[in-house]
Structure 1
Amino acid sequence: MLYETTLRGLNNKPQTASVTLTDGKGLGVRISMQGKVRFQFRYKINGRSKRVDLGFYPDLSLRVARDITEQCRSWLAEGHDPKLKRSMSREKTLTPVTVRQALEYWIENYARENRVNVERIIIQYQRHIFPFIGHFPLEQTETRHWIECFDRIRRGIKGKRKPAPVAAGQILQSTKQALRFCRVRRYAISRELDDLIASDVGKKQKPKDRVLTDVEVYDLLNSIQNQKGTFYLRYLCKLLLIFGARTQELRLSTFDEWDLERGLWTVPKTHSKSDKLIIRPIPSKVKPIIEFLYKRHGHTGYLLGELKSCETVSGSGCLIYKRLKHKESWSLHDLRRTFTTKLNDLGVAPYVVEQMLGHSLGGVMAVYNRSQYLPEKLVALDMWCEWLDLLLNPSDNVVLIGAARHG
């Protein structure tokens, strides 16, 4: 049995020869001729004697050395070589996976292929998480560290950032998914966010029901016709309204998606939120627009001439209602809801509208029905384009409800 007093008396005291003392259970110390006291754990695997150095006294106390010995004995009982397990454990402790590394691991190995809003998520992390706890070892990070970040998002920073309770909830959800991904893959382990829900750190995004009135749609089309606003936003809004597409589908759209000979716009899976191919007919009234955009932007490869970030496009789109002096705010996504509502009001079958939106059909149809309903889609889009033309330029004997403002 070893004692602290014995070790203190031997430490840094030169010896005539190296000395080995035992404490029991495989733990011992080896004292060099220079008086260096080193703890060692000795064990056998398949009858072969082995040892692992635990550290020098007094940097490592006798009590801690005994605790490490118990861990080594447990590893040995489980069939692991203590020397290898200790080396792996020390490497994990000395070079831990940080919060930033864990989130970036999820981004590169999952989100880039499966989350269409990945660029927005990256910006959110760079703004709200990485500067504050990005360098923290993930497995040592406590719930309170995360809460501080979410509270900062929820409350905002005076003079710098507005309060964003919905964004706080969204960042929590994506981060929980990221940490689960890392945990399942055994890249890094943390369960500090498991018990949190969006309402604990901010707010859930409420379902939206904003649909533009006929007057508001007219105002938008009229401003586009009169070239009010940037070129990019004008054509983005026009095509969003015509096709009912998601903003990202047009923001990311390249000319190779548009087949004017066959009259089809094919949105690739990588640009689709539902990870499915979306095929839409191109109405005859829209073909000249695509041809014009190709002449103007063909050399860039992008339909709208450049690749803007989702935050830039969304932020600009949310301000259009102010320029048009509409009392109630609306976003670019509300154009998609307007498209859906108006087409249903015009008598277009719901399953055709759902197909144009890129939604999966429900029930058995989702499994067995692979039709794209292209003829029905084309009829619906032609009728929709005609309706929009009449709204903007009504004939003398046609009156559209809500359009009296300019009639």
Structure 2
Amino acid sequence: MAKLYDKHLKVVLNKKHEKQFTLTDGEGLGARVSAHGKVRWQFRYKIDSQSKRIDLGDYPALSLLKARDAAKQCREWLAEGFDPKQKRSLKREQTLRPVSIKEALEYWLVEYAEDNRANASKHRSQFERHLYPYIGDLPLDQTETRHWIECFDRIRKGIAGKQKAAPVAAGYVLQNAKQALRFCRVRRYATSRVLDDLTISDVGNKQKKKDRVLSHQELIDVWALVNSSRLMPYYSNLIKLLIIFGSRTQEIRLSKWNEWDFTEGLWTVPKSHSKTGDKIVRPIPESLVPWLLDLKANADMSDQILGDLKTPETVSQQGRKLWKKLGHEEKWTLHDLRRTLATRLNELSIAPHVVEQLLGHSLGGVMSIYNRSQYLPEKKAALEMWLDRLDLLANPIDNVLLINRN
């Protein structure tokens, strides 16, 4: 069968004809010519002996070569067992309205992170600051690795006068973005592998393993600070609870009064506030109850135990200033209070698995599978001992020797 050439199409294009007719190119491809001379490409095929056709586009907007490519794609879909009309419709919808980078990352945040990551709000905040303004509206499947690297480089190097260099944050954003794109890919929401080959060292730095533990004198300084009026009540109460329980900052920051059962004497951190996704149960020391009840009475009807809900960035910024405020020589952060409690409890001969439970860590090995005990009596005894030690640090008694004052 003779193939079509452009000259055949140009002869009939935009010319008057008695009736419509079709010029055949072969292998299912034809050009339907209307009575007014409009030329439209069509692909004809059969499924279960039923004749079907697809409009591919108009000539000359869709050239002869492009029309042949489109017909070839239809034949391949048909050979694979797909209806070309349905496949082309889906492909066209994806092309005309592709999933943007912002939509893909938000899909992960809403469908996964908000239920499984206690730091979901932090992840969104970082995306909103570092990614959305620059590449958020770009189609995910059309972006290249370089587009993302430009964003990571801005985080790593900083922006003069606007943003400090943050190489660790660059790696953190990369990790979350990679997980988000994998989640979208597995869920068949959107597909992109542009970040697969990138590692943290390609865009920034890994977070260094920290070992900062406050000395007894530093801890005395902090304890005295939170029991004074030198800090805003929000931060005094936050840091006091961090010192006592060794919890993560977000567990206190997000905590509501319905988590605190004063009848049973338990504080239950819900899964949604836990970094590990597991519920954390901590006993409330009896000596702490009067202070907590006063705190609740002065909460002005707020559900939040701290009376307000501040962003993690705001809290972190305040925490980074405390070591200077107290005149300490070596920097420490709010998270180091958690490590300090763990270290000091071990010095008090508290069993390691009890300390791990207080911290909200998952027990390792077979213990995580078979041992479901909360060790509540042991945790309560450990916290009571810790409060006694804090009281002794703040109010030393003559002839009482504190072991290891460093």
Q: 1:121 aligns with which of 115, 123, 127?
A: 123
Q: 1:332 aligns with which of 318, 331, 334?
A: 334
Classify the secondary structure of the residue corresponding to 2:298. helix
Structure 2 counterpart of 1:355, which letter?
A: Q
| 1:354-379 Cα shifts (integer Å, max 9, x gaps) | 11111122222222112111111111
Q: What is aligned with 2:402?
A: 400
Mapping 1:375-394, distance limit 5 Å:
375-394=377-396
Name the CA distance, whole Å, in 2 between partners of 1:61 and 1:6.
Answer: 13
Q: What is aligned with 1:12?
A: 14
Q: What is aligned with 2:196?
A: 194
Following TM superposition, by how much is the alpha carbon of 1:335 offset from its aligned partner in structure 2, in angstroms?
0.3
Contact 1:211 1:341 in 2 (8 A): yes
Following TM superposition, by how much is the alpha carbon of 1:400 offset from its aligned partner in structure 2, in angstroms?
3.0
Following TM superposition, by how much is the alpha carbon of 1:227 offset from its aligned partner in structure 2, in angstroms?
1.5
Following TM superposition, by how much is the alpha carbon of 1:120 offset from its aligned partner in structure 2, in angstroms?
0.6
Following TM superposition, by how much is the alpha carbon of 1:402 offset from its aligned partner in structure 2, in angstroms?
7.0
* 1:357 partnered with 2:341: no
The alignment's TM-score, normalised by the length of structure 1, stands at 0.97
Contact 2:155 2:166 in 1 (8 A): yes
Following TM superposition, by how much is the alpha carbon of 1:7 offset from its aligned partner in structure 2, in angstroms?
1.1
Q: What is aligned with 2:318?
A: 316
Contact 2:171 2:200 in 1 (8 A): yes
Following TM superposition, by how much is the alpha carbon of 1:298 offset from its aligned partner in structure 2, in angstroms?
5.7
Mapping 1:70-85, distance limit 5 Å:
70-85=72-87
Q: What is aligned with 1:240?
A: 242
Contact 1:391 1:403 in 2 (8 A): no
| 1:124-143 Cα shifts (integer Å, max 9, x gaps) | 11111011111110000100
Q: 1:368 aligns with which of 367, 370, 383?
A: 370
Q: What is aligned with 2:132?
A: 130
Classify the secondary structure of the residue corresponding to 2:31. strand
Q: What is aligned with 1:251?
A: 253
Q: What is aligned with 1:163?
A: 165
Following TM superposition, by how much is the alpha carbon of 1:226 offset from its aligned partner in structure 2, in angstroms?
2.0
Contact 1:214 1:401 in 2 (8 A): no
Contact 1:20 1:31 in 2 (8 A): yes
Classify the secondary structure of the residue corresponding to 1:106. helix
Mapping 1:87-166, distance limit 5 Å:
87-166=89-168
Structure 2 counterpart of 1:158, which letter?
A: A
Name the CA distance, whole Å, in 2 between partners of 1:378 and 1:80.
Answer: 64
Tell me, which stretches of 5 or more residues in structure 1 are unaligned?
Answer: none
Contact 1:166 1:202 in 2 (8 A): yes
Residues matched between the structures, number: 404
Name the CA distance, whole Å, in 2 between partners of 1:121 and 1:255.
Answer: 26
Following TM superposition, by how much is the alpha carbon of 1:287 offset from its aligned partner in structure 2, in angstroms?
0.8
Following TM superposition, by how much is the alpha carbon of 1:22 offset from its aligned partner in structure 2, in angstroms?
0.2
Structure 2 counterpart of 1:316, which letter?
A: Q
Following TM superposition, by how much is the alpha carbon of 1:401 offset from its aligned partner in structure 2, in angstroms?
5.4
| 1:105-155 Cα shifts (integer Å, max 9, x gaps) | 111100100111000111111111011111110000100000000001100
Classify the secondary structure of the residue corresponding to 1:285. helix
Tell me, which stretches of 5 or more residues in structure 2 are unaligned?
Answer: none
Structure 2 counterpart of 1:24, which letter?
A: G
Classify the secondary structure of the residue corresponding to 1:286. helix
Q: What is aligned with 1:266?
A: 268
Name the CA distance, whole Å, in 1 between partners of 2:82 and 2:241.
Answer: 63
The alignment's TM-score, normalised by the length of structure 2, stands at 0.97
